[in-house]
Amino acid sequence: MNQAAPAPKENMGNPVPRIDARLKVTGQAGYSADLPTANMAYGALATSSIAKGSITAVRLEKARKVPGVLDIVSVGDMDGIDKPKFGNTGASSIAPLHDKAIFHDGQIIALVVAETFEAAEEAAALIRADYAEETPSAGFDSRGTEMEPAAGKSPLFKEDVKAGDFDAAYAAAAVKIDEKYSTPTQHHNPIELFSTTAVWQGDQLTVYEPSQNVTGWKAELARQLKIDPANVRIVSPYVGGAFGSKGPMTARTAIVAVAARSVGRPVRCVVSRIQAYGTQTYRAETRHRIRIGANQDGRITAFAHEGWEVTSRPDPYVVGGTSATGRMYDYGSVLTHVSLVHADRNTPGYMRSPPETPYVYALENAMDEMAVALGMDPVEFRRVNEPQKEPIGGKPFSSRSLVKCYDQAAEAFGWSKREAAVGSMRDGDWLVGMGCATAIYPTAAAPCAARVRLTTDGEVRVQCGSHEIGTGVRTVAAQMAAERLGIEMDKVSVEMGDSALPPAPVSGGSISTASVCSAVLKACDAVRAKLFAAAVAEAGPLAGSGNAKLEMSQEKIVADNGKSAKLSDVFKTMQIGAIEEYAEFAPKGSSPEALKKLYAGQSEFHGGDQDKDSVKYAFGAEFVEVRINSHTREIRVPRIVGAFAAGRIMNTRTARSQLMGGMIWGIGQALHEATEIDKRHARYVNRDLQDYLVPVNADVKQLEVILVPEIDHEVNPAGVKGLGELGNVGTAAAVASAVYHATGKRIRDLPIRIDHLIV
């Protein structure tokens, strides 16, 4: 065992290597734009050079003259096609080639199709448009934006949570803070480029595109193209990073399908890195005002969190993280309010830990400020305010191991060695600071179907239309089947990433492991039931063991009376070669239509704060050491420790890797990532991987992930909480806290850069 494969503790599965590892290290894993198709033509996009106004003419003449150009689909060429919708599956209601209206910079104005990639790119670069241009509003502080309350504008954000009388409690509080925080615009920037490959065979359309939601896209694409969903198939076997960016379907998918139908050939359009900034979703910038009031003993009596988020003109995209921040601690009274600010921008979308990344950053930075104001140790301050029940609805937590996480992370980090006084831990030229913060993410699951086949020779095939985006979901689904059916991992294969498979929900919101494993578990149990019934039947090899408890192990059915039967012998008595079971899982408390909606491509999440009996969240604690050069103010993070509890851990290897990746994302949130906007033109400026900074290898040194054992039978049958997003939450606040500890400077606007620290 090495560091990447931690020994499992209680309620944790083995660190089995990824079942697709060999494919990934040999270049054989087929990502969407790798899949071969015959007679392919190449697509390239042209995009708008203004952010607001309308197109008066698109000039295609020069582009058409480029040798090899086959067709150009442009504004007005989407007759007979329905417009995209904003919502469960669609990224935006903006319909770029239907309308002449321009809603944002970088909006698609044409798709060139050519014989070669080079010709398509050359032609697309020659396309110009004439515009009736208006002055755009870029975002916060721009003239012409429209603000509205967010509550009720999105099914994902129903209300501004509150409890008690905040105003009175805050007025009476002995110690209080009132501060503002902000987080910048960010783009997911998965390393795999966005792409669409559309292949028509008669009236059957196959689309190869990296997707976190093949079933949803199938339904939405069929709706836009006005064809039977049965004739549409979305294929996305491997996804080269997603982080939310490949969840919502964008307008491009239907445009490429229309172009492919028009030229009568398969068309592949790989979107350039630059164009992705305007044609995909992103995390919009947010602002926060937080007020906390407490008694001298450190008990919080009043908490208010106001948030502002930017969205596009037409679509009310909202993350609204106050549902989680309002339930984090034992506040006494809570007041929250979220506002949307509509600007001339593309519609934002979910990005890793969508509500919690910005909102918990603000909360936890404020908690650190409050601890300073109280003269308390920040860990102790959180411990004092640990709730028995969440403050909004007075419900218990299904499980909450936050204090254990703090204890274990603090010990591993050496928190006791921290000297509390600001600026007291200097090491030569380096100012040393230590900080901490809480991570929280709601635990949800969604309806999911799976098919499991077991053959007489012990081969297992699992099929589920979920998505391998790097989480290891194929591996944990295989582990679940192997464990339940008593088969070695190397005899289990898993098919995912195809809308022809049993439907699964969107792979977002840390729901995949819980949803997929619960469905696989159910299908496996149905297989077991058939085998067990046959084994103990009169003619079966375990006849007479009807009252015994049966298990499956090493390709045998084992009874607790000491008898066992080979799997192949049970099949022999059944006179069949395979058992195949199809199972549907719906989380407890789902709506009666939840499963029907699954087949229509609509994922109904259930969990978090939705249940009557308890609220469901995963927790963690992160500790960070920063070092700031006293001359250059260069900021380094030499050490980071996170402890997390998230119910059953299916695989300690993949779990650790996801949490590690999340923590490093958190370092990026704290110190690197920001999409800069030219406010005059409402245009993203740093649209590439050179100027949009993400953490690189040299930004990470010592990193430790501690998996804290936790058992939670309430969350779902698999007992899994999910942790893909958890590691990313809180990190930035821990860094900000450490920067304060080192320098005495409280940086409230992310990212924290050298220029913030120059006196």
Partner 1 sequence: MSETPLASLSRRSFMTGSVSAAAAGPLMATSAKAAAPQPAASAEPRDLSAISLRINKQPYNLALDNRTSLLDALRDHVGLTGTKKGCDHGQCGACTVLVDGKRVLSCLSFAVMNKGHEITTVEGLASADGNLHPMQQAFIDNDAFQCGYCTPGQIMSAIGCINEGHAGSEGDIREYMSGNLCRCAAYPNIVAAIMQAQDETRKA
Work out which of 9, 10, 21, 149 binds partner 1, going by CB under 8 A: 21
| Cβ 519 to partner 1 shortest distance, Å | 23
Point out which span in 21-29, 134-142, 334-342, 561-569 binds partner 1 (CB under 8 A): 21-29
Rule CB under 8 A: which of 135-194 touch partner 1?
Answer: 188-193
| 524 scored as a contact of partner 1 (CB under 8 A) | no
User: Minimum CB separation from partner 1 for residue 665, in Å?
Assistant: 6
Our finding on whether 599 is near partner 1 (CB under 8 A) is no
| Segment near partner 1 (CB under 8 A); pick from 378-386, 428-436, 448-456, 686-694 | 686-694
First to last CA, the chain: 48
Give the span between the Cα atoms of 609 and 160, in whole angstroms. 13
Three-class SS state of 637: strand
The nearest distance, CB 189 to partner 1, in angstroms, is 6
Q: Verify binding: residue 671, partner 1, rule CB under 8 A.
A: no
Residue with smaller CB distance to partner 1, 6 or 84:
6
Number of residues that bind partner 1 (CB under 8 A): 71
What is the nearest approach in angstroms of partner 1 to the Cβ of residue 742?
22
- For 645-677, letters b (16+ CB in 10 Å) and e give bbbbbbbbbbbbbbbbbbbbbbbbbbbbbbbeb
**Pairing verdict, β 617-629 and 635-645:** antiparallel
- Give yes or no for a contact between 356 and 440, defined as CB atoms under 8 angstroms apart: yes
Distance separating alpha carbons of residues 98 and 685, to the nearest angstrom: 27
**Cβ neighbours, 10 Å, residue 160:** 22
- Does an H or E element contain 102, and which? strand 101-102
Q: Does 412 sit near partner 1 (CB under 8 A)? A: no
CB of 17 to partner 1, least distance (A): 6
Angle at the Cα of 659 from the Cα atoms of 488 and 645, rounded to 5 degrees: 85
Q: Is 39 in the site for partner 1 (CB under 8 A)?
A: no
Q: Is 243 in the site for partner 1 (CB under 8 A)?
A: yes
Beta 175-183 vs 286-294: how paired, if at all?
Answer: antiparallel
Beta carbon of residue 77, minimum distance to partner 1 (angstroms, whole number): 25
User: Does residue number 590 form part of the binding site for partner 1 (CB under 8 A)?
Assistant: no
Least Å distance between CB 276 and partner 1? Answer: 10
192 is catalytic: no
Please state the closest distance from residue 271 (CB atom) to partner 1, in A: 11
Q: Which stretch binds partner 1 (CB under 8 A): 561-569, 607-615, 653-661, 714-722?
A: 653-661
* 273 touching partner 1, by CB under 8 A: yes
Query: Starting from the edge strand earliest in sequence, which strands make up the sheet with 232-235, in order?
Result: 69-74, 108-114, 41-47, 267-270, 195-201, 204-208, 232-235
Which positions from 468 through 497 interact with partner 1, judged by CB under 8 A? 468-472
Q: Which is nearer to partner 1, 192 or 625 (CB)?
A: 192
Phi, psi of 621 (to 5 degrees): -135, 135
User: What x-and-dash track marks residues 690-709 binding partner 1 by CB under 8 A?
Assistant: x---xxxxxxxx-x------
Provide the token pair at 630. 């006293």
> In this complex, which beta carbon is closest to partner 1, that of residue 531 or of residue 663?
663
Contact string (CB under 8 A) for partner 1, positions 195-234, x = contact: ----------------------------------------
By CB under 8 A, is residue 607 in contact with partner 1? no
Cβ contacts of 690 within 8 Å, gap of 6 or more? none
Residue 186 to residue 191: CA distance in whole angstroms: 15
For residues 19 and 492, the answer to whether their CB atoms sit within 8 Å is: yes
Nearer to partner 1, 118 or 560 (CB): 118
As beta bridge partners, residue 183 has 286
Q: Which amino acid is at 71?
A: D
What DSSP designation does 584 have?
A: E
Binders of partner 1 among residues 345 to 384 (CB under 8 A) are none
Catalytically active residues are 725
